[in-house]
A and B are shown apart, each in its own frame.
Chain A
Amino acid sequence: MSERDERAARDGVLAVEGLTVAIHGKEILRGVDLTLEPGRVHGLAGESGSGKTMTGLAVLGLLPHGARVSGRIELAGQDLLTLPPKRLNAVRGAEVAMVFQDPATSLHPMLSVGRQLTEHMRHHLRLGRGEARERAIDLMRQVRIPGPEEAIDRYPHQFSGGMRQRIAIAVALACSPKVLIADEPTTALDVTVQAGILRLLRGLCDDLGLAVLLVTHDLGVMSAVADEVSVMKDGLVVETGPRGQVLREPRHAYTRALLDSLPENAGNAVSAAAETSGTEPSGVEPA
């Protein structure tokens, strides 16, 4: 543990310390601590309402109106919470990017895929039209969209759910961010395409050295790809640690309850996956 703490302090790209969020007087987060490291997937688990999504949104300053925030969110020596709006906007999409739950609604239905892939590149990286387009095609290849040269001129409704989520991931990767926040990226997808998306995220994390925060309520997904796991309950992180340890030997009663609530065989699959170091998402495959 102490070795890991040292590593986190040395390599952490994004450190969340004592994050609290209150919306209209109601406390949503009550002091969340998290550290993301490059090339590692940090899973954030917990039931709905536990504050997982709010944690992700807080990092990008996307909390709903009337939210009061305190604590620190440190990225490359600067505190994102105190950054002036203009500087924060330069971080959004460029340093920290986000993939949302439902690609059917998180892509603009009236803009071509190419437009959505290039607009922020042109803004953040000051690329020309042609250059941005080239890079967009490369990105689509990277997330394995078939026929990217043609697909780039099409619109989101012309793709399936899984392909749309790949596009959303490509959009997030466009400006080579250091941190990727994925908020339930497979929840809205069919089980059959979930595994592909998770494998893609894992691969991108390894290849690009991305620090990934994977928000999910699905422990099967968690066991498939996460390196570290944090479990949240009522706005607090109740347990955090390496995947194997948290899922196999949960120390907190709530984590144990979460694991016990899984169907029998799925629970076994999770602990089985936790024991192996493979990246295959055993939890989401039919037993």
Chain B
Amino acid sequence: MSPTSAPSRDRDGGAAPTGRKAGRGGAVRRHPFARFLVRRIVTALLLALGITLVTFILTNLVPGDPAAANLGQRAIGDPAIVAQWRADHGLDKPLPQQYLMHLSGLLQGDFGQSQQSHRPVADDLAEFVPATLELAGAAILISLVAGVGFGVVAALRRDRLSDHILRVTSLFGISVPTFWLALVAFYVFFYRLQIAPGSGRIDPGMTPPPHVTGLYTVDAALSGQWDVFASAAGHLATPALVLALYTIGLLTRFTRSAVLEVLGQDYVRAARAKGLPGRVILFRYVLRPALVPIITVAGLAFGSLLSGTVLVEAIFAWPGVGQYAYKSATSLDLPAVMGVGLVVGVVYLVINLVVDVLYGVIDPRVRLS
């Protein structure tokens, strides 16, 4: 038999009863996908546990004494105060015990107390994480739309002028350092052209929209405050574009090569031979298979976006988790650093989970095997 055929029991057309079971009951047919999902979620949870351990260990390996970083000059000189401070923060206990305390705290949503802001780390994160997610989310949306769009155009117009222009531009996007681009964009759009609003998430003097998601644009739209929405979107646009430029370039190049590869497939020629309209061939026969490598890259790119936000946030004074992480790390604010590490790690996990699930949605061979 053909070596390419699936090692399925009901090959050769499936007159076998297994084929009937698979075809009729939707629940039974979807069963493998449910199992696939559960497996991925359990893996993600285990990895999340691993992340807590790794962040904990790494944070404790940092050479430096948090007491020294947080107590004043005179207090440092007094061993009694230092001991008291360490006891207050649980730092006098053995490390495994500290980890268990840390873990049980996490389960109750207690990320500890920030030594810098003197607030619960959970509160700090709730304030700063949505700002970063809004920025990175907007950037990845822009990247997907522009990058995939440009990539498709470049592939369809291969070796013509538009292809060459897009290829050179995408190379520029990949090569330019984000911090430099952020400075230039700030100078040009804000200072020179005066078309971009200044720093921050919203115009000064404007009240942020009622908190639902923490994303100002979404919250403003939900509450129907369109003036606030316009302001938030205006503030978001420049940093998001700056952040997106790298991923746009990356996705343009990957999409171009993915689409070119699919265009050479037999089933695309077969679709043409069937006389299907061009847009059906483009979306159903070319773009859908090409999406598999594209979402892989997009998932990875989201990770690089998150690290890119640190610089962009600093330049645009965007009150996000990047700035918070920077301040916490330089002042050895261990609970805050661990909290940021955990959140960023979990965001990575969620993105990977989403990418895995999308593989299954796009390709039945993933879902059914």
Contact = CB atoms under 8 A, between A and B. Distances in A.
A163 B289 CA distance: 23
Given A147-B20, A151-B19, A158 B14 contact: yes
Of the candidates A98, A105, A108, the one having the most CB atoms from chain B within 10 angstroms of its own CB is A108
A149 interface: yes
Contact of B273 (A62, A154, A160, A162): A62
A81 B29 CA distance: 46
Nearest to B4: A104
A88 to B, nearest CB: 8
A105 B277 contact: no
A65 to B, nearest CB: 9
A111 interface: yes
Interface string A93-123: 1100110111011111111100000011001
Given A102-B266, A160-B5, A161-B5, A146 B273 contact: no
A248 interface: no
Contacts of A40: none
B69 interface: no
B273 A97 contact: yes
Interface string B345-369: 0000000000000000011110010
A100 B266 contact: yes
B363 to A, nearest CB: 5
Nearest to A104: B4
Given A159-B11, A161-B2, A190-B2, A109 B20 contact: no
Contacts of A146: 12-15
B265 interface: yes
A89 B14 contact: no
A89 B276 CA distance: 7
A98 B270 CA distance: 8
Given A155-B368, A158-B6, A160-B11, A100 B270 contact: yes
A109 B292 CA distance: 13
Nearest to A88: B275
A120 B275 CA distance: 7
A29 B31 CA distance: 53
Interface string B10-26: 11111100011011100
Contact of B362 (A60, A93, A110): A110
Given A106-B270, A146-B13, A150-B24, A158 B275 contact: no
A109 to B, nearest CB: 6
A90 interface: yes
B27 interface: no
B163 to A, nearest CB: 13
A188 B103 CA distance: 58
Contacts of B274: 92-93, 97, 119-120, 171
Contacts of A62: 269, 272-273
B3 to A, nearest CB: 9
Contacts of B330: none
A147 B266 contact: no
A91 interface: yes
A124 interface: yes
A27 to B, nearest CB: 22
Contacts of A124: 275
A161 B1 contact: yes
A153 interface: yes
Interface stretch (B87-95, B240-248, B280-288): B280-288
A189 interface: yes
Interface size class of B (residues with CB under 8 A): 35 or more
A145 interface: yes
A112 B267 CA distance: 13
Contacts of A190: 1-2
A158 B369 CA distance: 10
Contacts of B273: 60, 62, 92-93, 97-98, 100
Contact of B289 (A90, A98, A107, A109): A109
B185 interface: no
Contacts of B19: 147, 150-151, 154
Interface string A53-94: 000000010100000000000000000000000000111111
Of the candidates B4, B10, B20, the one having the most CB atoms from chain A within 10 angstroms of its own CB is B4
A78 to B, nearest CB: 15
B271 interface: yes
B362 A150 contact: no
A147 B2 contact: no
A155 B364 contact: yes
B108 interface: no
A157 interface: yes
Contacts of B265: 105
A42 B89 CA distance: 88
Contacts of A123: 275-277, 280
A147 B14 contact: yes
Contacts of A145: 13
A154 B2 contact: no
A98 B363 CA distance: 25
Contacts of A155: 364-365, 368
Give the top 9 A-B pairs by smallest Cβ distance, nearest first: A161-B2, A150-B23, A92-B275, A146-B15, A93-B275, A93-B274, A105-B266, A146-B13, A98-B273
30 contacts: A62-B269, A91-B275, A92-B274, A98-B270, A98-B273, A101-B266, A104-B4, A106-B269, A107-B267, A108-B270, A110-B288, A112-B364, A123-B280, A146-B14, A147-B15, A149-B23, A150-B24, A152-B23, A155-B364, A157-B364, A158-B6, A159-B6, A160-B2, A160-B12, A161-B1, A161-B4, A162-B12, A171-B270, A188-B2, A189-B2
Given A150-B19, A157-B6, 6 more contacts: A97-B274, A104-B2, A111-B284, A123-B275, A151-B19, A162-B12
